[in-house]
Amino acid sequence: MQINPEYLQKFIADSLLEDIGEGDHSSLACIPAEAKGVAKLLIKEDGILCGVDVAAKVFKYLEPECEITVHMQDGAQVKVGDVAFTLTAKVHTILSGERLALNCMQRMSGIATQTHRIQKKITHTRSVVLDTRKTTPGIRQLEKYAVFCGGGQNHRMGLYDMIMLKDNHIDYAGGIEAGINRVRQYLNDKKLKLAIEVEARNLDEVKQILSVEPLVDRIMLDNFIPEDIRLALELIANKAETEASGGITSDNIVDYAETGVDFISVGALTHSVKGLDMSLKAKISEN
């Protein structure tokens, strides 16, 4: 996955406007406008690095001529004391962009680190960790990119790039068969080619989904215990992709992965993650 350049540029512009407003008065008041400085991004906690390019673009937005030397790329395993990049720029640039760059990198690295730790637990299985739409509004692309850097896979980006019939869709549509048939007709009328995933709340609903032809692309087994997932997989018999979802954490994910399910979606990758500790250490250049 790559972050859309236009989206990133707008995000940086809006975020800097929010932070700087009419001016960074702290820096303007005590630092000469032409003073040059050097800063290094110092890692203070072991984990997976993410957001280096985002941080670089923050500083380049403020000062296109600034110099950034990248020492470690996104997806790299980092340890305490590592330096991710070195920045040479006007001191005003360093101080005005510092918080936005750190906010992005700390959160993105935290997500990448958590994803890596969870995915590592199930490398002996066929299952792959997926993210969800439980992301921070406005920075979904950054957070999903971080999941990718951590070794997970991205689910749909939004409501527009995949059909997913969840419990409320099914209830409002009048049932599984009615919902799937309406989706097929809608896609045909709109000449759209989108994958279809349908959520099952129990084994009976798995059977209902399997009875509708042509078969959907993926069946989500929501809030199933591992034993019931095994039973569901026997019914599905590899005729469709399978996904386990609901209440799955780093503590129980191995039990779910060892069922043989294809995908495991974990909302906690993005909705409740701790940022990775790092700081931007700056000093005045001698030049």
Residues with catalytic roles: 99, 134, 166, 199, 222
125 φ/ψ sector (left φ>0, alpha ψ -120 to 50, else beta): beta
What torsion do the CA atoms of 3, 155, 225, 113 make, to the nearest 10 degrees?
A: -10
What's the chain's length in residues?
A: 287
Q: Cβ distance 108 to 145 under 8 Å?
A: yes
Report how far residue 222's alpha carbon sits from residue 165's, in angstroms, rounded to the nearest whole number: 12
Phi, psi of 60 (to 5 degrees): -65, -30
Q: Exposed, middle or buried, 108 (CB in 10 Å: 0-12/13-18/19+)?
A: buried
